[in-house]
């Protein structure tokens, strides 16, 4: 019997100013992607919805207060981060917020940068760049990292459907 599929759920928030630029955080001190840029966000905590997680993570990292009514779902990516580390990444656009973004986690973030999401800086994490391209194209779903791996045993042998 196969085991039940498990995945990590990650939330990302696009804080977009009136000029169209979005907020990026420069990662530091986490041992993962140091110096690279990402959007505010992070892993869900136990029992959290993606919306509550997006609100919490944004507040923890930037001090910005969001409400559910000001979050618009824009994309989800099913990502394979290594062979045994699948993730679902939910992206939300903040249509409004309270407060000015500040770096509330200097032990994890070297600074905040506003940039054009259609042309993110070269140091932006590739996964984030790919998602921003999908969002810009109006695509609500994408896969990332799955083409590099063989299908699970048994799937490759299934006959093609003749619909």
Predicted local distance difference test score (pLDDT) of residue 148: 56
The answer to whether 74 and 93 are in contact (CB under 8 A) is yes
Across the chain, mean pLDDT equals: 89
Higher per-residue confidence, 2 vs 18? 18
pLDDT attached to residue 5: 81
- The pTM of the full predicted model, rounded to 2 decimals, is 0.87
CA dist 134 to 9, 30, 91, 131, 162, Å? Answer: 19, 27, 11, 5, 31
Q: Determine how many CB atoms are found less than 10 A away from the CB of residue 108.
A: 17
Mean pLDDT of the 2-28 span: 94
Q: What average pLDDT score do residues 78-87 get?
A: 81
- pLDDT 10s digits, 90-149: 999 999 999 999 999 999 999 999 999 999 999 999 999 999 999 999 999 999 988 654
DSSP category for residue 97: -
Tracing tokens 């599929």 back to the chain, one arrives at 5
Contact (CB, 8 A) for 112 and 102: yes
Q: What was the pLDDT predicted at 29?
A: 85
Tell me which residue of 145, 56, 122 sits closest to 92, measured CA to CA: 56
pLDDT of residue 15: 98
* Dist. CA 11–CA 52, nearest whole Å: 10
- Strand pairing category for 109-115 and 86-94: unpaired
Q: Is the pLDDT assigned to residue 69 strictly greater than 60?
A: yes
Name the residue ranges covered by the structural domains of the chain: 20-144
Q: For residue 32, what pLDDT is reported? A: 82
CATH number of this structure's domain 20-144, picked from the four choices 3.90.79.10, 3.30.465.10, 3.20.20.70, 1.10.167.10:
3.90.79.10
């Amino acid at each position: 019997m196969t085991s039940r599929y498990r995945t990590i759920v990650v939330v990302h928030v696009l804080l977009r100013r009136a000029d169209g630029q979005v907020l990026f955080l420069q990662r530091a001190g986490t041992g993962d992607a140091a110096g690279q840029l990402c959007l505010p966000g992070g892993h869900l905590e136990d029992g959290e919805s993606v919306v509550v997680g997006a609100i919490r993570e944004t507040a923890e990292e930037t001090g910005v207060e969001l409400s559910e009514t000001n979050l618009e779902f824009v994309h989800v990516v099913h990502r394979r981060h290594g062979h045994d580390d699948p993730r679902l990444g939910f992206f939300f656009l903040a249509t409004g917020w309270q407060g000015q973004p500040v770096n509330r986690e200097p032990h994890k973030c070297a600074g905040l940068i506003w940039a054009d999401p259609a042309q993110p800086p070269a140091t932006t994490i590739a996964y984030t760049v790919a998602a921003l391209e999908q969002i810009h194209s109006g695509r609500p779903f994408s896969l990332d990292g799955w083409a590099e791996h063989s299908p699970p045993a048994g799937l490759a042998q299934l006959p093609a459907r003749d619909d």
